Amino acid sequence: MEYVVTTRDLTRSFGGFVAVDRLNIRIERGEIYGFLGPNGAGKSTTIRMLCGILQPTSGTGTVLGYDLIRETEKIKSKIGYMSQKFSLYDDLSVWENLNFYAGIYNVPGKERKKRVEEMIAMAQLTGREDELAANLSGGWKQRLALGCAIIARPSILFLDEPTSGVSPTSRRMFFNKGG
Ligand SMILES: Nc1ncnc2c1ncn2[C@@H]1O[C@H](COP(=O)(O)OP(=O)(O)O)[C@@H](O)[C@H]1O
Ligand SMILES: [Mg+2]
């Protein structure tokens, strides 16, 4: 069996408070895996450790075979991450946000324009290319943020409550397009 995520006793404390307590999971390639739990359960903290953004306090793990503690830069270059807060640049347009993310994720220069156009079509943002991200409503921002998260065709996509606070219609559209 090929596992794209494994953890062994993965733990994260903040001061004396244990936010994630000895988590053991295995996720297979192709699997859709969800964390359920109330606010404060440790879902976001877990995702941040799996993305290589937050160091565990103890325990170990791998993402795409890379070590969660020693190979975080490798992990970051291979994953997509859409955080609970929007990670868009308000003063850049739709097109500029996508082009910027293509740049930081090292999409080859000659492919960038095509990829940006693909993401605009996927997110149904055609005609809004020049609108500033700041002026988009919640549902449109989420579509754009999804486009930014997958423009580099990541092997794994981490979504942290990507549709909290948007309408049921936007939510349905998001998950249909995200598959
Ligand atoms: N940077 C931090 N500093 C201190 N406490 C934190 C920090 N990040 C998260 N926590 C605490 O860890 C717990 C888990 O938070 P979180 O992972 O955001 O939960 P969830 O995403 O399931 O709502 C909460 O009690 C939160 O207050
Ligand atoms: Mg959270």
Q: Give pLDDT tens digits for 61-102.
A: 999 999 999 999 999 999 999 987 778 999 999 999 999 999
Q: Which ligand is nearest to the CA of 85?
A: 2
Asked if the domains at 3-77 and 94-178 fall in one CATH topology, the answer is yes
Residue 56 has pLDDT above 60, yes or no: yes
Q: Which of 17, 44, 45, when mutated, tests ligand 1's pocket best, judged by the most ligand atoms within 8 Å of its CB?
A: 45
The radius of gyration computed from the CA coordinates of the chain, to the nearest angstrom, equals 17
Instruction: Give the number of the atom of ligand 1 that is nearest the alpha carbon of residue 48.
Output: 17
The domain limits of the chain are: 3-77, 94-178
Q: Give pLDDT tens digits for 120-130.
A: 999 889 999 99
Q: Give pLDDT tens digits for 156-169.
A: 999 998 877 777 87
State whether CATH 3.40.50.300 applies to domain 3-77.
yes
- Which pTM was predicted? 0.90
CATH no., domain 94-178: 3.40.50.300
